[in-house]
Amino acid sequence: MSIKICLLLIVIACSFTLYGVQEIDSLRLICVKKSVKALNFDDLQWMFRERVQIGVQSEIPMHLHFFIQDASGLQSENYSFEAVSASQENLFAFSNMSGDPLMVWGKTLSTEIENFRLLKDSLAKIFNLRGFRLKFLQSERGLAKQMDFFTRGRSMTALSLHNFNLAVDVGISRRGRYMRRSNGYTHVGSLAKNLGAFWGGDFMGFPDVGHIQAFPNGAALVRKFPELTFEYIRFKEIYEQNYWTALNRGQGDLVEDTRQLIVELTKNRDGEVCACSVATPIPTGLKDEWFRQFEEVSTGYVYVHQKEGWVYIKYGDTGYFYPLGVYSFATKN
């Protein structure tokens, strides 16, 4: 009997090894089509953010109209830029209609921004390199300008701590002449790190000696303020592409900050409602008049039919149907 039990245990152990629970991939989420029992209008804000690629200011909607068709009937919420910017009660809606992350999240980050301002003041006071002068060149930066820097290769990230007024570029001059390269930047970096800041000269792969920031990277910022996932998530595909490209070149050490950020973004979205990425045909039964309510060009729409399990997302002249689902970690191959 004991021999049979041992053999059975061996078979079970081998079966579990072969067919047991696979290890999750902390870098990849999949939107699994399934019935969603409950959702709210914040979920619709996320679906609009993740399925509508917003680039420059001219592409940002000034109105959003959201609808939820559930067992209780049809619910709707309308948002205008004027209303959300004045009240700032719904920061997700504000972000979906703004090209300035600092304007949206400034109150959320007010303590961090003030602490960084005091740090810059202290740095200016203790900088005493003889013959050199320190100047702060640029601190806050809008999203459109950051994207311009990124596409032209002047910045290595799609969303910078500059966009939250948590980074600053510094310049050193000598005898009135700006020094692009100088050992003085190493001195500045050392002083800044002693004050608790992080120096761009330590960046792996793309050192920026004239840069100082309040957090080591975007992942650390999102870790402390998970709500900022909403701001970073729009660029997740860019981060993923850059990460895997570098990894395939054997340069994984150069994109460790990117890996950490992707991990934070996926962790914060796991288990949340989503619009699955592959569009589906028009559901049966919808008539032409149903579509006429979505004809305004400058308006964004999200319409969820909870029972039938689909979501319609439209911006401008383009609208698509997607299966409704829930995010789950992918498993490693």
pLDDT digits (tens, 9 = 90+) for 269-322: 999 999 999 999 999 889 888 888 777 656 899 999 999 999 999 988 889 999
Q: What is the pLDDT of residues 127-175, one digit of tens each?
A: 988 888 899 987 888 888 888 888 888 887 889 999 999 999 999 988 7
Confidence of residue 51 (pLDDT cuts 50, 70, 90): very high
The residues, ordered by sequence, that sit 6+ positions from 154 with a Cβ below 8 Å of its Cβ are none
Residue 79 class from Cβ within 10 Å (0-12 exposed, 13-18 middle, 19+ buried)?
buried
Reported pTM: 0.88
Distance of CA 45 to the CA centre of its chain: 14
Q: How many CB atoms lie within 10 A of CB 256?
A: 15
Ramachandran category for residue 162: left, alpha or beta (phi over 0 → left; psi -120 to 50 → alpha): alpha
Distance CA 177, CA 155 (A): 24
Q: What is the number of residues in the chain?
A: 333
Backbone angles phi, psi at 265, to 5 degrees: -65, -45
Both tokens assigned to 9: 């245990």
pLDDT at 15: 47
What is the predicted pLDDT for the residue at 69? 95
At residue 197, what are phi and psi to the nearest 5 degrees? -90, 180
* Buried residues in 91-120 as b, exposed as e (16+ CB within 10 A): bbbbbbbbbbbbbbbeeebeebbeebeebb
Per DSSP, the three-state class of 157 is coil
Asked if residue 103 lies in contact with residue 87, where contact means CB atoms within 8 angstroms, the answer is no
Integer Cα distance of 184 and 129 in angstroms: 7
Q: Please, what are the domains in the chain?
A: 22-107+226-331 (no CATH), 110-222 (3.30.1380.10)
Q: What whole-number percentage of the chain has pLDDT above 90? A: 66
Count CB atoms within 10 A of the CB of residue 237.
12
**Contact of 57 with 293, CB cutoff 8 Å:** no
Taking CA atoms, 1 is separated from 5, 14, 285, 323, in Å, by 6, 20, 63, 53
pLDDT tens, 1-37? 456 555 444 444 454 444 556 798 999 999 999 999 8
